Structure 1
Amino acid sequence: MAYNTKPSIERLPAIPAEVTAEWLESKLGHKVKSATLTRSIFGTGSKLFISIEYEEEIADPDSRPRNICVKGVFDPAMVKSQPWTLSLALREANFFAKIAPSIKHMGYPRGWWGGTSDRQGIAIMSDLTHEGCTFPSEAASYPVEKVLDGAAQIAGLHAQFWGRSQDDYPWISNDYDVAMKFITEPWDSVVREPGRPKLPEYLMDGARVKRAQEKYYAQRNPRFRTLLHGDTHLGNVYFTAEGHTRFLDWSAFHFASCFHDLVYFVSTTLEVEERRAHEMEVLDHYLATLHRLGGPKFERDDEELMIEYKRSYMTNIIWPVCGYDLQTKERVDAFTERTIAAWVDHKVIEVIEAQW
């Protein structure tokens, strides 16, 4: 794999038409005869799916991809209206360049090139659909076995980087909190828009919710700090051809509380009643796997642990105000319902307010 570890002076493609056969050839290291755009997905990160034909055959075809996903910010209007999306693209490119090659216990899409400039971050990955992978529908719910598998994947990442911080990796800044505060700023108006999911009255108070959000970000317990995937909701899950649960969209990784990843995954992947029935089983499995793979040993009778677990549901704050231009209405409404149920069940706002 060829990776660019410093911002490039080269102007990287900014729109799909600029991802040409010639440009791909320069990054993949093989002469490209043709590159055909087969489909595109636009959102907080744009994904261009491209089929490649090479000039020459080689002995080991697995050493170069024939079907790729080129991810970056290829929608100028989105970048203008949501400038924080650029930081996500830069971060994902850096993940494949600097972190992915060292990961031991967590699967992720195969990367072929990653590079950044001051206005773009691009990651070239294998197109998972051509590896037999499948993806959840907009608001699916899955059996607990799939969730346990995903929790073990999360534990694998966390165990490897347990206790590390930005002091160890100065280039991994926390842009996540800034982006979330930007998105939740119009809370009071968005939650009152016609057609939005109805919230309990106390959550209609945007000032209270945002104070809790600020307090959560400022007071994460460092005892549970590790490197996070950062965006483990169901929309960033895929299943391998063998049926294993894996995660894509590595554009929000940063150092923070481990339970951020776990609760965000559990509460979006299970419907409310399933989450209530199996949540502690999943937590126990996560804790056991974390310890087995080299992380610390924790138990649920640890009061500090359970407080941090409940507080971490603040991660879900995006869904009640997520724009329907960023995610489908079906997904936003379903995940909002699951979020609010978890907030009420765990008294998330109240637990945060009661701390210090």
Structure 2
Amino acid sequence: MAIKTEESAEKLPAVPSEVTAKWLGSKLGHSIRSVSLTECKLGTGGTLFFSIEYADETPDAASRPMHVCVKGIFDPTTHTKIAPSIKHISLLKGLWAGKSDRQGITIMSDLSDQGCTFPPEVGSYPLEKVLEGAAQLAGLHAQFWGVNEEKYSWMPNRYDAPLMAITEQWDSIVREPGRPKLPEHLLNGARVRKAQEKYYATHNPKFRTFLHGDTHMGNIYFTREGHTLFLDWSVSHFASCFHDLVYFLSTTLTIEDRRAHEMEVLDHYLATLHLLDGPKFDRNDEDVMIECKRSYMTNIIWLVCGYDLQTKERVDALAERTIAAWVDHKLIEVIEAQ
């Protein structure tokens, strides 16, 4: 059964101490004696893990969670509305979701309690895990390929405009002491932002489908069995399928592994897309390769991401991977040439 997003006039918790037993109990529908914060993961929204002590006993202990994850997200509406219909990709069990005019919050099952693990601040993964993640994305994309988007008119694109806003201070941010060094042509903020704007405005429509939207390594996890899955669907929208694919593979592989294996990952993605009743594409198709290369613009956040939003360790590592991919694929030049 799908959970509904609750429109909240009340102030939602903004810091860990505001996630109280009373607040959590009101959302889960149980009387809670106490909650204990067991782990806190920094990030754009932050992820908090709590253990729960209930005020009463129940003969069916499995009917209520002993451990939960509370995550700040932009807007939980997309996940809660879309999740019940998704076929080929596994999703977290949602317990409650709410939003106010300032933020969104979702309460989910605690993956750590289920034996799942999360990437470290900086990690890279074997090709097999990346291939599995690519196949998950192919399943998602295949299901929604060619759907009537009017059915999803309630789902705005929450990605492009915020990214354009974040890059407004490009020239000053990329020159800050301690930031990863950019090649000379990427220091030109006006040129980069012009290419960014053109990229958002000129996606090839034949690759359009429903996206997760934010598939960097901070939004993946691994099950006890070793499967690669995705969380945080708050910026899902319709756009180019390669947005999801290249953002995922370029943040989870080292620069060297991405150079060695990205075509293998692309081939696996395209084959799985067709296997699951999506369209048949081949990387020998020039349109495929152009759109794939252009989609590395998705990584732009890491070149200007504030160290207050993600750790410096993660930002710098993913910025280095982004710079290498942009240079390897001549990203700016490819977009300008269209």
Q: Compute the TM-score of the two structures, normalised by the length of structure 2.
A: 0.94
Task: Measure, in 1, the Cα distance between the counterparts of 2:215 and 2:281.
Answer: 22
Question: What are the residue-to-residue correspondences of 1:1-356 with 2, within 5 Å?
Answer: 3-5=3-5, 7-72=7-72, 89-91=73-75, 93-164=76-147, 166-355=149-338
| Residue 277 of structure 1: how far off its partner (Å) | 0.9
Aligned equivalents of 1:7, 1:58: Cα separation in 2: 30
Alpha-carbon displacement from aligned partner over 1:241-274 (angstroms, at most 9, x marks no partner): 1111111222221111000010001111111111
What do residues 320-351 of structure 1 show as CA deviations (whole Å, max 9, x unaligned)?
Answer: 11111112222112111111111111111111
User: Equivalents in 2 of 1:65, 1:218: separation in Å?
Assistant: 44
The CA distance in 2 between the partners of 1:334 and 1:180, in whole Å, is 19
Tell me, yes or no, if the aligned pair for 1:158 and 1:258 is still in contact at 8 Å: yes
Q: Is the 8 A contact 2:43 2:311 kept in 1?
A: no
Give the paired residue count.
338
Contact persistence 2:133–2:229 (CA under 8 A) = yes
* Preserved contact between residue 97 and residue 113 of structure 1 (Cα < 8 Å): no
How many percent of aligned residue pairs carry the same amino acid?
70
Check conservation: 2:78, 2:155, Cα contact below 8 A. no
Secondary structure of 1:167's aligned partner: helix
Give the CA deviation at 1:240. Answer: 0.7
Alignment gaps of 5+ in structure 2: none
Q: Give how far 1:180 is off.
A: 0.7
2:6, 2:97 within 8 Å by CA — same for their partners in 1?
A: no
Cα offset, 1:53, TM superposition: 1.9
* Letter of the 1:65 counterpart: P
Q: Tell me, what secondary structure is at the counterpart of 1:152?
A: helix
SS in 2 for 1:38: strand
Q: Is the 8 A contact 1:96 1:114 kept in 2?
A: no
Q: Indicate the residue corresponding to 1:78 in structure 2.
A: none
Q: What secondary structure, in the 3-state scheme, does the structure 2 residue paired with 1:52 have?
A: strand
Q: Distance in 2 between matches of 1:96 and 1:245?
A: 18
Rounded Cα–Cα distance in structure 1 between residues aligned with 2:89 and 2:63? 22
Equivalent residues of 2:90, 2:229 under 8 A apart: yes
1:60 offset after TM fit, Å?
4.3
Q: Equivalents in 1 of 2:121, 2:14: separation in Å?
A: 28
Q: How many Å apart are 1:10 and its aligned residue?
A: 4.6
Gap change, CA 1:40 and 1:162, over 3 Å in 2: same
TM-score computed with the length of structure 1 as normaliser: 0.89
Worse-superposed segment, 100-109 or 18-27: 18-27
What RMSD over aligned residues (CA atoms) do the two structures have, in Å? Answer: 1.8
1:48 match: secondary structure: strand
Q: Secondary structure at the match of 2:150?
A: coil
Cα distance, 1:103 vs structure 2:
1.5
Distance 1:119 1:188 in 2: 29
Cα deviations by residue, 1:29-74 (Å, 9 ceiling, x for unpaired): 23323222223334320322211122444454333211111122xx
Q: Contact conserved, 2:42 with 2:310, CA < 8 A, in 1? A: no
Q: CA deviation at 1:126?
A: 1.1
Structure 1 residue runs without a partner (length 5+): 73-88
| CA shift digits 1:162-196 (9 cap, x unpaired) | 12465221111011111111111111111111111
Q: Distance in 2 between matches of 1:191 and 1:15?
A: 30
In 2, Cα distance between the equivalents of 1:130 and 1:53? 15
Distance in 1 (alpha carbons) for counterparts of 2:174 and 2:334: 22
Q: Residues 100-120 of structure 1, C-alpha deviation per residue, up to 9 Å, x if partnerless?
A: 222111123221111223233
